């Protein structure tokens, strides 16, 4: 293992030494993001963590333990209940899928009791449904839940995932003892995945784990990762959603401009359809994740989800904003009287605007916006058609540049609008 590790690091230093040349070349070509052709719009799919966490007890809880049965059931529902048609394509496994030890050849293996068919079998099944399979590993010595880490095995693990037919890797950052190992490990794995020749979306947590020690270099990160987590794990609570949004507004100067086709900021999973958010708070998560050009990875139980949550998650107009081909992330604009305004430039000179009521007391709040104050003053110049998309779709008609828009927003809710050039 030590030999392999050493030669691995030597390999990396060669590759990194050649990197500046490549970068100059990319600079000329104008490409900035990881060049694997993937995640040209934010990744959409389902990820088990927030809802199913690390449930290993298939004896007591056969329906919610981390097992091939869980993923097969979700795959079936993703197709039969319209999720795939709405764009949710990647069915992703998080931590706790592994057996506690590698096999005799040093390869990771799935827990044989919970995944009796193995990951290749599961990948075949998922592919037969027209979906893609995501998997999870860790840059350090162990995964966060204590399963085998990839440190010292990056090439073997990348090849194993490629051999199994995996389409996305979420690479966590637990049990990594130095900043240097963290950064080198994330870079090395990106190159190792590329060398397998298989197209694998690479989801990183590099800036999240780096931030306590160093300001992340996003120019660097976007050249290696398709999306990257910046902040804490999402929980099924309004407090958690508010913390993610407020972290994003505080740090937007650093992160918004880096996002684009091939590389996205990842504010973590959608928890819509679970237990912790009111209806208005679920609307807020959906609207703001669309504004932020966030990967839309649901973590919920597709076997038991309310029609209302399903309709929100499958809303075509909102998904179209999230997936807009211009690929520019939106940003926080201003707060007035406890009303927060966000906006996002879209293709065809359209804009999305989210108006969020920060109050958690009282009833619906009226807020009147001068149209000229939106979209750098040009969104509605000389005029535009406005459609409210959330909480319900309502055509608000033609607006002149000098006009105002009246909105009404429930406490902790959000109104999402689309403005189209007239």
Ligand X SMILES: *[C@@H]1O[C@H](CO)[C@@H](O)[C@H](O)[C@H]1NC(C)=O
Q: Which C-beta is closer to ligand X: that of 30 or that of 197?
A: 197
Tokens of 89: 């394509």
Within residues 290-349, the interface with ligand X by CB under 6 A covers: 325, 347-348
Q: Which C-beta is closer to ligand X: that of 212 or that of 307?
A: 212
Q: Which C-beta is closer to ligand X: that of 162 or that of 241?
A: 162
Which residue among 35, 61, 63, 232 contacts ligand X (CB under 6 A)?
Answer: 35
> 251 CB contacts (<8 Å, ≥6 apart)?
230
Which residues pair with residue 342 across a beta bridge? 332, 354
Size of the site for ligand X (CB under 6 A): 19
Q: Is the peptide bond before 382 cis (omega within 30 degrees of 0)?
A: yes
Neighbours of 212 (CB within 10 A): 7
Which residue among 15, 76, 220, 301 contacts ligand X (CB under 6 A)?
Answer: 220
Whether 95 sits among the annotated catalytic residues: the reply is no
Selecting among 81, 163, 220, 233, the annotated active-site residue is 233
Which residue among 15, 32, 36, 81 contacts ligand X (CB under 6 A)?
Answer: 36
> Taking CB under 6 A as the rule, does residue 2 contact ligand X?
no
> Taking CB under 6 A as the rule, does residue 13 contact ligand X?
no
What radius of gyration, in Å, describes the C-alpha atoms of the chain? 22
Whether 81 sits among the annotated catalytic residues: the reply is no
> Taking CB under 6 A as the rule, does residue 249 contact ligand X?
no
> Taking CB under 6 A as the rule, does residue 64 contact ligand X?
no
Which residue among 7, 13, 128, 219 contacts ligand X (CB under 6 A)?
Answer: 219
Minimum CB–partner distance for residue 221 and ligand X (Å): 9
Which residue among 7, 13, 128, 217 contacts ligand X (CB under 6 A)?
Answer: 217
The distance from CA 15 to its chain's CA centroid, rounded to whole angstroms, is 28
- Distance, in Å, from the CA atom of 137 to the CA atom of 108, rounded to the nearest integer, reads 9
C-alpha torsion angle, residues 228, 172, 6, 181 (rounded to 10): 60
Minimum CB–partner distance for residue 72 and ligand X (Å): 27
Which residue among 151, 186, 228, 331 contacts ligand X (CB under 6 A)?
Answer: 151
Minimum CB–partner distance for residue 347 and ligand X (Å): 4
> Taking CB under 6 A as the rule, does residue 140 contact ligand X?
yes
| Span from 31-39, 40-48, 99-107, 359-367 in contact with ligand X (CB under 6 A) | 31-39
Q: Which C-beta is closer to ligand X: that of 197 or that of 397?
A: 197
Q: What is the end-to-end Cα distance of the chain in Å, rounded?
A: 64
> Taking CB under 6 A as the rule, does residue 194 contact ligand X?
yes
Extract long-range pairs of 399-407: CB within 8 Å, 24+ residues apart: 399/371, 400/371, 401/371, 401/372, 402/371, 402/372, 403/371, 404/368, 404/369, 404/370, 404/371, 405/368, 405/369, 405/371, 406/366, 406/367, 406/368, 407/355, 407/366, 407/367, 407/368, 407/369
CA distances for 217 relative to 25, 45, 68, 180, angstroms = 20, 27, 38, 13
**How many CA atoms lie within 13 Å of 180's alpha carbon, on the beta-carbon side?**
3
> Taking CB under 6 A as the rule, does residue 199 contact ligand X?
yes
Q: Which C-beta is closer to ligand X: that of 30 or that of 37?
A: 37
Tokens of 243: 């913390």
Selecting among 138, 172, 236, 324, the annotated active-site residue is 172
Which residue numbers are catalytic?
A: 172, 233
Binding region for ligand X (CB under 6 A): 35-37, 140-141, 151, 175-177, 181, 194, 197, 199, 217, 219-220, 325, 347-348
């Amino acid at each position: 293992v030590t030999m392999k590790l050493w030669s691995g690091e030597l390999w990396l230093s060669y590759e990194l030494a050649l990197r500046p040349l490549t970068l100059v070349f990319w600079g000329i070509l104008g490409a900035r993001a990881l060049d694997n052709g993937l995640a040209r719009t934010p990744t959409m799919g389902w990820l088990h963590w927030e809802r199913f966490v690390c449930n290993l007890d298939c004896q007591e809880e056969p329906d919610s333990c981390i097992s091939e049965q869980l993923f097969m059931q979700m795959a079936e529902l993703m197709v039969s209940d319209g999720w795939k048609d709405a764009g949710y394509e990647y069915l992703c496994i998080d931590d706790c899928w592994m057996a506690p030890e590698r096999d005799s050849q040093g390869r990771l293996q799935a827990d044989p009791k919970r995944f009796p068919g193995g990951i290749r079998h599961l990948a075949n099944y998922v592919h037969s449904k027209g979906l893609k399979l995501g998997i999870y590993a860790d840059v350090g010595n162990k995964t966060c839940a204590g399963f085998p880490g990839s440190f010292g095995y990056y090439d073997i693990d990348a090849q194993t995932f490629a051999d199994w037919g995996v389409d996305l890797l979420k690479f966590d950052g637990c049990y990594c003892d130095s900043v240097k190992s963290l950064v080198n490990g994330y870079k090395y794995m990106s190159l190792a995945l590329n060398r397998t020749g298989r197209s694998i979306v690479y989801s990183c947590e590099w800036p999240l784990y780096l931030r306590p020690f160093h300001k992340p270099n996003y120019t660097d990160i976007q050249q290696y990762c398709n999306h990257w987590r910046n902040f804490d794990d999402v929980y099924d609570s309004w407090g958690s959603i508010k913390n993610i949004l407020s972290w994003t507004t505080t740090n937007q100067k650093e992160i918004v401009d880096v996002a684009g086709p091939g590389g996205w900021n990842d504010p973590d999973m959608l928890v819509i359809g679970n237990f912790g958010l009111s209806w208005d708070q679920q609307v807020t998560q959906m609207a703001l994740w669309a504004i932020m050009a966030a990967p839309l990875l649901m973590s919920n139980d597709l076997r038991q989800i309310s029609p209302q949550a399903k309709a929100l998650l499958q809303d075509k107009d909102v998904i179209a904003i999230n997936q807009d081909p211009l690929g520019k992330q939106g940003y926080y604009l201003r707060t007035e009287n406890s009303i927060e305004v966000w906006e996002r430039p879209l293709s065809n000179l359209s804009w999305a605007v989210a108006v969020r009521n920060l109050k958690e007391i009282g009833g619906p709040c009226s807020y009147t916006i001068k149209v000229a104050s939106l979209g750098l003053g040009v969104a509605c110049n000389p005029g535009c058609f406005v459609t409210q998309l959330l909480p319900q779709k309502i055509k608000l008609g033609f607006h002149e540049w000098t006009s105002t828009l009246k909105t009404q927003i429930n406490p902790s809710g959000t109104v999402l609008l689309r403005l189209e050039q007239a």
